[in-house]
């Protein structure tokens, strides 16, 4: 299992008697955008939990760029370049927008080129004494944070000194994505990024992802998304999950219009089979 | 073997009592999702009210016990009404601190009403002893076990089969769903607190019968053991509490028989820490949700300790006022002029204690506020620093630079090791872990006689000499004033640099959302341990300076009362705000020196202050950070 990709192989996760993920396999190569769709309870979010190490698989393997990650702690996996958002966006409520994004780049600040962490004593000395080598690192990280915030136009940058808890729902999602992007991840895993966004905001997000594909041609993007119109526009491939299994994996139009998919989503076949946004709960 | 069996039988009796205390925790935790720190205080009151009913009013044991149980149950209701109901929608950490304040007020009032001394309990059950083979068991043990078991069975039947019991369980599983179905969840909360009070009182009386004595400080150690038992069993399960209590009772009795009675409590608390380290969900926790608590409780899920995040989140008062790092030097420089104008050694002495407590309060604020692990054990770190100076200054003839360096380094190390069991915990559970650390520290100071000289303490600590400054000697009060002031100012500058640096930002991020911090690739445990190291270093320095100022180190300076005092200071100043912590620490430490007759009432007044502050200004004087 080598090569630059996240490779999920035959992974299962059981909660009590319920098989949330049941022998699912999938591959996310760098530079491609893959969307995971499926009805509620299909195991989409669980899959992201497993890839990011927040939850552990009961069986199967996960590799990130050839490194086996299915028993690594989440912070290690994140430092391999896997950035993930959460279904209910997790911002640091009392931290300002600016501080939140800086937390996102902190791991880069204390990591050396060889992937080792700088020891706490050196880190303390650098931070307390303001040594030149440290200041250079901090300046680089702050530049990355600023660039990430400015990706969202005037949505976040003018609010950088406000605490995150005062942000609107959509802005919290944006902040979470900005925090991830500031760390310049190799892979971006987004768990329902457009949830709670109105059509205008969803359109904005779609453009942002399309822009990201252009500006970060090496980044692999995995999106869980219910808004299928958006999926059609951003994804190279669509993976349809149902009851923890991969039902179909194909180009968006093929996958989404497949009769089995329509049935899994809506519970019955629909004439025309060209449904747009499926809103489930 | 006979001794072993006897100890087991004996352990079952006391374990049944722990189970009762544990049930009080479990009920309240299940229904209100908070850990009632005052459970120990209710327990102590139960014992003392029964004591008074017998000793002052001449009631026989059984009616006295009944009176006590009723009164304490009512007090449990009042506790919910006064300390918790007003805080619905307040920051998650507020209710816990509120019960801490109530507990302090009750404990200190008890010392005033009944005197701080231990009193013989004026009733006993026949001391007949039965032999089973060669193992023995006393009637007292049997009665205690019988009463405890009967109460447990009654409670189990109550929550399992009565309508009220079902409503209680429903509230525990999902309060909002229960409310939707027409259950008065506020009444359920009151019932839980009332029952917890009754269980507390009953267990207090049984303990008084078991040990044949009552003392006002018994609440915290027994409360902590009850909590340990509850946690051992999984915190939210009735059978779990019973199993946990019995195991703890047996373990502790065996340990005291084979290791020594003075280590009885230390062993119980060490068990608690080991438990937190290995199986924070308890033996029966996790899969089984037998009685109370719901899924969140079983997972030990705890709300954030942020003083800003709450269920009604949009707190607007986020403004925090704090000095930049160099500000502490400026303030220090201003204070350095005081001895030039003030000649009273009494005043200077008071100010010295003010500086030491400013430092200690800042060290508490750093872990409790910035990292969000409420520390109720800071006195242990303070004590390690003080004993380091006591042990190394005279016997080894080391200068103050060396002893203080040892105090700082050793305390940082102790703090890091002590923090390891806390790494998996959040919220109230972590706070009780720190309380256990504080208790263990105190017991070690008291019982490790070969090093600490036990209750006697270490006397005749020499005047500090700084070898690095050419053997400069600090003998007079003015000289010591400058020494303490200088060290405190520099240490606060460093601490503030930490808190304002990216490291401090990570600490706050961990407090706000640990999972998100992990997902951002941050080595969370390392940062928590670093925080404990820094906090320990500050507390160790404060302790070392304290030893030089006092010239005596003895265990009573490092009790849980000191820990609660400095935590109160940190909260009042604004958690995570070192300027606020230092200011509050300084002010509250010098206040009693200038108010005559205040000492006795000090902790009660501070408890009330904390209670009021949590209602009107939870973010503290200068604002939480």
Q: Under 8 Å CB-to-CB from B459, ≥6 apart: which residues?
A: B551, B552
Does one domain contain both A28 and A74? yes
CB contact under 8 A, A94 and B306: yes
Positions of CATH 1.10.3470 in chain B: 2-298, 342-616
Contacts with B308 from chain A: Cβ below 8 Å: 93-94, 163, 165
Q: Give the closest residue to B99 by CA, choosing from B208, B193, B188, B225.
A: B193
CB contact under 8 A, B508 and A138: no
Does one domain contain both A20 and A132? no
The answer to whether residue A57 is domain-embedded is: yes
Class of domain B342-616: mainly alpha
Please determine, looking at this structure, whether the domain spanning B2-298 carries the CATH number 1.10.3470: yes
Does one domain contain both A75 and A203? yes
Query: Could you tell me the CA-to-CA distances from B550 to A59, B321, B489 in Å, in that order?
Result: 62, 33, 20
pLDDT at B449 over 80: yes
State the DSSP H helix or E strand holding residue B131, giving kind and residue range, or none if neither.
strand B129-132
User: Where does residue A154 fall: left (phi above 0), alpha (psi -120 to 50 degrees), or beta otherwise?
Assistant: alpha
The answer to whether residue A198 is domain-embedded is: yes
Does one domain contain both A204 and A128? no
**Residues B86-110: pLDDT tens digits?**
887 777 778 888 999 999 999 999 9
CB contact under 8 A, A106 and B522: yes
The answer to whether residue A87 is domain-embedded is: no
Does one domain contain both A177 and A223? no
Phi and psi (nearest 5°) for B447?
Answer: -110, -15
Half-sphere exposure of B462 (CA within 13 A, CB side): 15
The beta strands (E) that lie in chain A are given as 5-15, 18-29, 33-37, 59-64, 67-68, 82-84, 187-191, 220-224, 237-242, 245-250
Of A137, A157, A184, at which residue does a domain stop? A184
Mutation target among A106, A108, A109, A112 for the B interface, most CBs of B within 10 A: A106
The answer to whether residue A235 is domain-embedded is: yes
**Residues B284-300: pLDDT tens digits?**
554 333 333 333 333 33
Does one domain contain both A8 and A26? yes
CB contact under 8 A, A78 and B521: yes
Confidence of residue B313 (pLDDT cuts 50, 70, 90): very low
CA atoms of A55 and B299, how far apart (whole Å): 14
Rg (CA), chain B: 24
Of A184, A212, A229, at which residue does a domain stop? A184
**Residues B494-515: pLDDT tens digits?**
999 999 999 999 999 998 888 8
Phi and psi (nearest 5°) for B419?
Answer: -80, -20
ipTM of model: 0.91
Rg (CA), chain A: 19
CB contact under 8 A, B497 and A100: no
Does one domain contain both A213 and A132? no
> Length of chain A in residues, anyone?
281
pLDDT at B318 over 90: no
The answer to whether residue A251 is domain-embedded is: yes
> How many separate domains does chain A show?
2
Of A184, A204, A228, at which residue does a domain stop? A184
* Residue A21, helix vs strand vs coil: strand
Confidence of residue B280 (pLDDT cuts 50, 70, 90): low
Among B308, B502, B513, the residue with its CB nearest the CB of A109 is B502
CB contact under 8 A, B522 and A183: no
* Residue A133, helix vs strand vs coil: helix
pLDDT at B305 over 80: no
CA atoms of A263 and B48, how far apart (whole Å): 70
β-bridge mates for residue A190, sequence order: A223
Does one domain contain both A219 and A179? no
β-bridge mates for residue B213, sequence order: B120
Contacts with B574 from chain A: Cβ below 8 Å: none
Does one domain contain both A8 and A54? yes
**Residues A193-208: pLDDT tens digits?**
988 889 998 998 999 9
The answer to whether residue A86 is domain-embedded is: no
Residue B601, judged by CB atoms within 10 A of its CB (0-12, 13-18, 19+), counts as middle
Give the structural domain span for A15. Answer: 1-81+185-281
Does one domain contain both A202 and A169? no
The answer to whether residue A37 is domain-embedded is: yes
Helix B325-336 crosses helix B578-594 at what angle (to 10 degrees)?
A: 30
Q: How far is A263 from chain B (nearest CA, A)?
A: 33
**Residues A117-151: pLDDT tens digits?**
889 998 999 888 888 888 998 999 999 999 999 98
Residue B616, judged by CB atoms within 10 A of its CB (0-12, 13-18, 19+), counts as exposed
Does one domain contain both A75 and A189? yes
Does one domain contain both A98 and A37? no
Q: Choose between B512 and B492: higher pLDDT.
A: B492
Confidence of residue B593 (pLDDT cuts 50, 70, 90): confident
Looking up residue A25, the CATH number of its domain turns out to be 3.40.50.300
Q: How far is B256 from chain A (nearest CA, A)?
A: 40
Q: Under 8 Å CB-to-CB from A128, ≥6 apart: which residues?
A: B494, B497, B498, B501
Residue B449, judged by CB atoms within 10 A of its CB (0-12, 13-18, 19+), counts as exposed
CA atoms of B280 and B231, how far apart (whole Å): 7
Q: Under 8 Å CB-to-CB from B194, ≥6 apart: which residues?
A: B73, B74, B76, B77
Neighbours of A150 (CB within 10 A): 13
Give the pLDDT score at B297. 37
The answer to whether residue A112 is domain-embedded is: yes
CA atoms of B43 and B269, how far apart (whole Å): 18
């Amino acid at each position: 299992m080598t090569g630059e990709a996240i490779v999920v192989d035959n992974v299962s996760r059981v909660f009590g008697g319920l098989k949330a993920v049941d022998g699912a396999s999938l591959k996310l190569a760098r530079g491609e955008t893959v969307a995971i769709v499926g009805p509620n309870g299909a195991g989409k979010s669980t899959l992201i939990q497993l890839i990011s190490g927040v939850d552990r698989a009961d069986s199967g393997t996960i590799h990130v760029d050839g490194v086996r990650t299915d028993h690594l702690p989440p912070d290690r996996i994140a430092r391999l370049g896997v950035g993930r958002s959460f279904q209910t966006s997790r911002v640091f409520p009392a931290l300002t927008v600016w501080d939140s994004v800086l937390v996102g780049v902190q791991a880069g600040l204390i990591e050396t080129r060889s992937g080792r962490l700088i020891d706490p004593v050196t880190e303390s000395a650098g931070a307390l004494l303001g040594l030149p080598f440290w200041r250079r690192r901090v300046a680089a990280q702050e530049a990355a944070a600023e660039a990430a915030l400015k990706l969202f136009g005037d949505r976040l940058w003018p609010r950088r000194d406000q605490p995150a808890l005062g942000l609107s729902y959509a802005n919290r999602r944006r902040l979470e994505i900005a925090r991830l992007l500031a760390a310049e991840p190799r892979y971006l895993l987004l768990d329902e990024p457009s949830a709670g966004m109105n059509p205008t905001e969803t359109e904005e997000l779609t453009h942002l992802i399309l822009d990201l594909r252009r500006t970060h041609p090496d980044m692999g993007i995995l999106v869980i998304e219910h808004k299928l119109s958006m999926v059609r526009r951003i994804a190279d491939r669509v993976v349809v999950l149902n009851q923890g299994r991969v039902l179909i994996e194909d180009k968006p139009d093929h996958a989404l219009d497949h009769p089995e998919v329509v049935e899994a989503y809506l519970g019955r076949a629909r004439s025309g089979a060209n449904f747009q946004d499926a809103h489930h709960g | 073997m006979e001794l072993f069996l006897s100890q087991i039988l004996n352990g079952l009796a006391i374990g049944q009592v722990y189970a009762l205390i544990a049930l009080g925790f479990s009920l309240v935790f299940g229904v209100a999702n908070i850990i009632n720190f005052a459970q120990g205080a209710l327990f102590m009151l139960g014992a003392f009210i029964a004591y008074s009913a017998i000793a002052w009013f001449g009631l026989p044991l059984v009616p006295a016990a009944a009176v006590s149980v009723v009164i304490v149950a009512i007090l449990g209701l009042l506790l919910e009404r006064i300390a918790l109901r007003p805080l619905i929608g307040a920051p998650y950490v507020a209710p816990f601190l509120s019960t801490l304040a109530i507990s302090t007020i009750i404990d200190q009032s008890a010392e005033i009403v009944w005197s701080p001394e231990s009193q013989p309990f004026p009733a006993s059950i026949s001391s007949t002893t039965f032999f089973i083979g060669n193992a023995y068991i006393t009637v007292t043990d049997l009665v205690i076990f019988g009463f405890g078991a009967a109460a447990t069975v009654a409670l189990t039947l109550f929550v399992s089969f009565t309508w009220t019991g079902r409503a209680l369980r429903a509230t525990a599983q999902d309060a909002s769903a229960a409310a939707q179905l027409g259950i008065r969840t506020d009444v359920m909360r009151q019932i839980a607190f009332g029952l917890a009070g009754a269980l507390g009182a009953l267990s207090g009386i049984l303990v008084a019968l078991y040990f044949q004595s009552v003392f006002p400080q018994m609440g915290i150690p027994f409360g902590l053991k009850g909590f340990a038992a509850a946690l051992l069993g999984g915190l939210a399960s009735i059978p779990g509490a019973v199993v946990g209590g019995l195991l703890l009772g047996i373990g502790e009795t065996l340990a005291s028989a084979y290791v020594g009675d003075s280590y009885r409590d230390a062993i119980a608390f060490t068990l608690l820490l080991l438990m937190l380290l290995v199986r924070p969900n308890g033996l029966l926790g996790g899969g089984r949700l037998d009685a109370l608590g719901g899924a969140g409780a079983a997972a030990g899920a705890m709300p954030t300790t942020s003083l800003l995040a709450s269920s009604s989140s949009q707190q607007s008062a986020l403004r925090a006022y704090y000095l930049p790092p160099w500000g502490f030097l400026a303030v220090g420089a201003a204070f350095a002029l005081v001895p030039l104008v003030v000649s009273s050694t009494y005043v200077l002495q008071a100010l010295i204690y003010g500086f030491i407590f400013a430092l200690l309060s800042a060290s508490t604020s750093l872990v409790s506020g910035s990292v969000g692990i409420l520390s109720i054990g800071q006195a242990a770190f303070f004590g390690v620093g003080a004993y380091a100076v006591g042990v190394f200054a005279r016997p080894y003839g080391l200068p103050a630079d060396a002893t203080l360096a040892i105090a700082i380094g050793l305390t940082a190390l102790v703090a890091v090791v002590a923090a390891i069991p806390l790494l998996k915990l959040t919220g109230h559970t972590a706070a009780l872990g720190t309380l256990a650390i504080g208790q263990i520290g105190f017991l070690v100071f008291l019982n490790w006689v070969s090093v600490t000289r036990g209750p006697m303490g270490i006397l005749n600590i020499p005047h500090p000499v700084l070898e690095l400054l050419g053997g400069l000697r600090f003998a007079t009060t003015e000289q010591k004033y400058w020494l303490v002031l200088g060290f405190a100012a520099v240490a606060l500058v460093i601490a503030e640099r930490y808190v304002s640096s990216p490291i401090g930002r990570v600490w706050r991020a961990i407090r706000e959302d640990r999972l998100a911090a992990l997902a951002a690739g941050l080595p969370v445990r390392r940062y928590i341990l670093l925080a404990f190291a820094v906090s320990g270093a500050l507390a160790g320095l404060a302790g070392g300076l304290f030893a030089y100022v006092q010239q005596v180190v003895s265990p009573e300076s490092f009790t849980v009362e000191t820990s609660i005092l400095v935590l109160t200071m940190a909260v009042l100043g604004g958690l995570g705000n070192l300027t606020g912590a230092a200011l509050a620490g300084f002010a509250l430490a010098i206040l009693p020196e200038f108010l005559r007759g205040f000492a006795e009432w000090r902790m009660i007044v501070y408890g009330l202050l904390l209670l009021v502050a949590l209602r009107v200004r939870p973010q503290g004087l200068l604002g939480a950070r």
